[in-house]
């Protein structure tokens, strides 16, 4: 997923405050787009969180975790593993008013487009 594709993805989601595309194996942030300018250590922490989830959470019935959605009272995080590049993931921070179903749909579309490109 290119920085431009990431920016287009986030522009369709008004409650998505930060989108990061990262290589979770090397813990490397590949692209970022946010409502604020986040410090690198924060982006790295989000990337590390994705790695902890996708590399640490065990498979269930032989099926690997490919999507993790977290929600709390003040908002949430979403992590989507790229199907075509399993070492890469799209990570999002969103506010409490976000439509999670719309977020997951847009993420799926963006990752499919990015994979096909």
Partner 1 sequence: MSDLARLKAALRRTAEDGLAPRGAEVFDRPEDGAAIILGHVDRSMLGRRLGFRFDDGTGFDCEASGRRLIRLLPPEPPGLEPAGAALFDGAELRPEQGDLLAATLVTLCGGRTSLRMSSEPLGDAADPSQGGIDTSGLFERLGQAPADLAQGAEGGDLDALVAEIGGDLLSGLLIDGEEVTPIRGDGEDADRISPWAVDAVERLLAPDFPLAMALETDGIMAFGLKGSTERHLVVAGRLGRLLVGVVSGADPAETLVRWQRARR
Site residues for partner 1 per CB under 8 A: 17-18, 35-36, 38-39, 41-42, 45, 48-49, 52, 56-58, 60-61, 63-77, 81, 83, 93, 95-97, 100-101, 103-104
Q: Which is nearer to partner 1, 2 or 105 (by Cβ)? A: 105
Residue 75 vs 85, nearer CB to partner 1: 75
CB of 76 to partner 1, least distance (A): 8
Q: Are 84 and 115 in contact (CB under 8 A)?
A: yes
Task: CB nearer to partner 1: give 6 or 47.
Answer: 47
N- to C-terminal Cα separation, the chain: 8
Are 88 and 29 in contact, with CB atoms under 8 Å apart?
Answer: no
Q: Is 78 exposed, middle or buried (0-12, 13-18, 19+ CB in 10 A)?
A: buried
């Amino acid at each position: 997923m290119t920085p431009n594709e990431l920016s287009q993805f986030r522009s369709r989601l008004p409650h998505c405050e930060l989108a990061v595309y990262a290589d979770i194996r090397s813990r490397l942030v590949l692209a970022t787009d946010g409502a604020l300018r986040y410090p690198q250590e924060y982006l790295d922490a989000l990337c590390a969180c994705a790695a902890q989830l996708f590399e640490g959470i065990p498979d269930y019935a032989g099926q690997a975790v490919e999507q993790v959605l977290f929600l709390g009272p003040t908002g949430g995080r979403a992590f989507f593993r790229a199907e075509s590049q399993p070492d890469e993931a799209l990570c999002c921070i969103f506010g409490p008013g976000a439509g999670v179903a719309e977020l997951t749909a847009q993420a799926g579309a963006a990752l499919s487009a990015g994979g096909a490109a």
